[in-house]
Each structure stands twice: as structure tokens, then as C-alpha cells.
Amino acid sequence: MMIQLRTPRLTLIPLNNPLLQVWMQSGRKDLEKILELQPNHWNLELFYEQETVQALRDYWIPQTAKFPLDYYWYTNWEIILTASSCSVGGIGFAGLPDNDGATEIGYALDQKFRGQGIATEAVQALCDWAFQDSGLRIIRAETPVNNVGSQRVLEKNDFQKTGEKTLALENPMQVFTWERLR
């Protein structure tokens, strides 16, 4: 039985390594079929689309293979709108809590579904689940300084802004850093 988290409107399903392999090799349509979801092509800005593809290839697939028992700390959780049975985005952590008891959360939501509180609900559910791990003390996040919607999601989930930094990407990006303490 696969782990699932449920909220009033959402079901969150973490993808194990075989499901991630299907996504990588065959695409989201085949993944949606296996999960018995209605098809929904995610509409993401290019940066988030590229970040998702890179995470799938360079992080989620190798890490879920390396940590099959704790895969849910290293993968994308599908954000499923229960009423329409379609995936509207993804959310996940950057691994088990480190020696400082910290991990990082990230999420992306299909543009068609933004502004409805879905990301806020998903972040709340995943943080509540994660804080059941007694080793977790801090959940960190980063948001582009111009992404006010994502910043509001974190504020509504008791994250505090801790600073600002430049991500060394092909096109450098200013981000705010955030933390939520247990």
C-alpha cells in the first residue's frame, strides 16, 4: 500500500522509483494512467519546468533508488485535486533531516490552479506529516524575490523569512530564504 496524505481537497502521493522511471521514460501521461488520474498537462514557467526535469533526472530517481525505504523524503509528491482526480503540481523535500535536524521543501503548481489555496494546503499537509519525525527541527525553503504568491504560501504556513541570497544559476536569481521551526 502506497502512503498517501489527504486534506479536505487534496491527496498527496509520493512517487517511488518505478513511478519516477515511468515519468522519465514515458512521460506524465503514462504516469497519470498508472495512478488512475485524469490527464492534466502542467502549465509551468520555463524555470520551474526545467527545475522539475532536472530534479527528476539528477535527484529524485537516483535518491529514491539509493533510499528505497525512505523514498518519500527524496521524491516528488503528486498534488492531486481529489474532486477532479487530476494532478495539479508537485511538492517534496530535499531528503531526510540532516545533522542539524533540517530539510528543505519545494513545490510547483500548475498556473491554471494558482490562487486557490492549493499550495498552502499541500505545504501544510506535508509539513504536518514531516514534523512527526522527531529528528526534524527545521524546514527551509527558498522563493524567488518576485514570486509573491509562493511567499504568501510560506507565510500562511508559519515560515519566517531569514534572508536573501543569489542562486548561482545560468541566469543568477535572487531568492528569499525561509525557515519553519518545529
In degrees and rounded to multiples of 5, residue 46 shows phi and psi of: -55, -45
Percentage of the chain beyond pLDDT 70 is: 99
**Res 78 pLDDT > 60:** yes
Say if CB 79 and CB 12 are below 8 A apart. Answer: yes
- Would you state the cell numbers that stand for residue 119, as one nine-digit string? 499550495
> According to the model, what pLDDT value does residue 1 have?
55
On whether the CB atoms of residues 159 and 107 are closer than 8 A, the answer is no
- Which domains, ranges and CATH numbers included, belong to the chain? 5-135 (3.40.630)
Count of alpha carbons within 13 angstroms of residue 31, beta-carbon side: 24
Q: Which three cell numbers stand for residue 48?
A: 520551474
The mean of the pLDDT values for the chain is 95
